[in-house]
A and B are shown apart, each in its own frame.
Chain A
């Protein structure tokens, strides 16, 4: 009688053990998916695309691993739980990295936006002092047209920046800054030549 009771208890314990190991860790899966969605919302696919792809790969591997376990008679989700925990941490890291990178891009765009406004202002003053030699008039007309284009680009970049599209804003403002710096150098050089000639 005593042995039967012991065997019964052992069987119950085994069933309990097996059933506890065989449950899909849905809560952990949901939490990890939510963290990945949060990383995507933080534009990780834009600012840290390689990290985001690695994160997705990791989750895809977990989804497959879950199915592998579900295919088995005796399911074992312990290692999957561990991987889920790692992936959750990775998702949080990727989201944080994306936010950092986005902030860097934002600051760079902000700096360039401020810089270009100063360069444009200086160019506006320099153009009045620019020499108007034989070819000066048409060159100045072109510079004026370029300055209008730069201002339009700055306005477009500002609009993109205001919408939070910092990467596109940065690309646009970099091109405009390059052009504005070119004009600045051209005007300064032309003015310097005239001053040198007068000496």
Chain B
């Protein structure tokens, strides 16, 4: 055999040996769990797209933790000598990541879907509540604080709706919770006040019926002032003859307690004086006999009970007068009519004409329905 053939044989043998060695090395190299890691990555990505990081925080964090640990473990194994590597832990962690990520996705879908529908219901319910408040308390003098709370609650509701429409349900939920608290507490407080006020309704009803009966019996004029509906009603011979809109004291709810409280008293009174234009600054006026004996007794009892301070003074000079038509409750406790209407009333009444002032002539149920 010539030298050249010998060399070819040696080189070929060496090449085959190297080839087989490489093949052996490749075949028996530990294989990393590439597909497990890819599944885990995919599952995590889907979970993130379904906002599991927001709606299923714990599970998503757990899944991410498993994936990161798997990757770290993979990196650690890769630093070891090729044939000493063991990727079983990486595969195990990747599988755990897949499981947790899938759970996070399902949980997130379920939570966000439930939250979405419950938020929609809450928004609708609160919108109804806002409308209810608007309808019920249009004429009722709510305190400035209550009005501010209603207003703030309404604004938060609007913000919540805008955020909800953008699909940020958790943020919307926070705003709605705040809004719900402000609106429901304001509504409940206002409702309690209104119900307490209407506890006197049976008494008002009696007073009104008595006044109408007096008018019928005497065949003369009587006046009833319905504070809640802002009406002054003139009766003749027990029949409603005229009806006028009125303006009252700013704090018209409840009985007048003390001088300067800007409340309009409730009870049965009589006209004691008639003032022409040159005797009053309110165009024309009809002075009532407030405080009568019953008012004085109530006032003294309130002082005795400590409800009013000893320095308190009883009010007076309650009139039906002109200068009305301002559209607001502006008097110190008097009942204001427009000058034209004052002329009409002034003509038909006389000193001694009964004037009964009541909170309402209809019960709360009817007021609410109205």
Contact = CB atoms under 8 A, between A and B. Distances in A.
Given A139-B138, A179-B154, A67 B71 contact: yes
B317 interface: no
Contacts of A150: 155
Contacts of A137: 139, 247, 327-329
Interface string B149-185: 0111011001101110010000000000000000000
B239 interface: no
B104 to A, nearest CB: 14
Contacts of A172: 159
Contacts, number: 113
Interface stretch (A70-78, A79-87, A113-121): A70-78
B147 A142 contact: yes
B7 interface: yes
B327 A53 contact: no
What's the interface size class on B, roughly? 35 or more
Contact of A175 (B34, B78, B155): B155
A8 interface: no
A164 interface: no
Nearest to B32: A71
Interface residues of A, number: 42
Nearest to B328: A137
Nearest to A174: B162
Interface string A49-70: 0100100110011011001101
A138 B230 CA distance: 12
B154 A132 contact: no
B48 A176 contact: no
A148 interface: yes
Residue from B37, B38, B155 having most chain A Cβ neighbours under 10 A? B155
Nearest to A70: B78
Nearest to A72: B29
B150 A145 contact: yes
A149 B41 contact: no
A178 interface: yes
B140 interface: yes
A138 B144 CA distance: 11
Contacts of B82: 73
A104 to B, nearest CB: 15
A60 B41 contact: yes
A179 B152 CA distance: 11
Interface string A134-159: 11111111100110111011000000
A64 B155 contact: no
Interface in A143-199: 145-146, 148-150, 152-153, 171-172, 174-176, 178-179
A71 B81 CA distance: 10
Given A171-B163, A175-B159, A140 B328 contact: yes
Contacts of A128: none
A153 B158 CA distance: 12
A71 B144 contact: no
B141 interface: yes
Contacts of A22: none
A46 B152 CA distance: 27
B139 A148 contact: no
A148 B148 contact: yes
A140 B139 CA distance: 10
A3 interface: yes
Given A63-B71, A67-B74, A175-B158, A142 B163 contact: no
A149 B32 contact: no
Nearest to A177: B158
B49 to A, nearest CB: 6
B155 A176 contact: yes
A138 B138 contact: yes
B307 interface: no
B92 to A, nearest CB: 16
Given A132-B327, A134-B245, A142 B150 contact: yes
16 contacts: A53-B48, A61-B41, A67-B32, A67-B71, A67-B74, A132-B326, A137-B329, A141-B144, A142-B147, A145-B147, A145-B148, A145-B151, A146-B155, A148-B148, A171-B163, A175-B161
Can you list the 9 inter-chain pairs with the closest CB atoms, starting with the nearest?
A132-B327, A175-B158, A137-B328, A145-B147, A149-B151, A175-B159, A70-B78, A71-B32, A136-B327
Given A71-B30, A71-B77, A141-B147, 13 more contacts: A53-B45, A53-B48, A60-B41, A67-B74, A70-B75, A73-B22, A137-B329, A138-B137, A138-B142, A141-B144, A145-B147, A146-B154, A149-B154
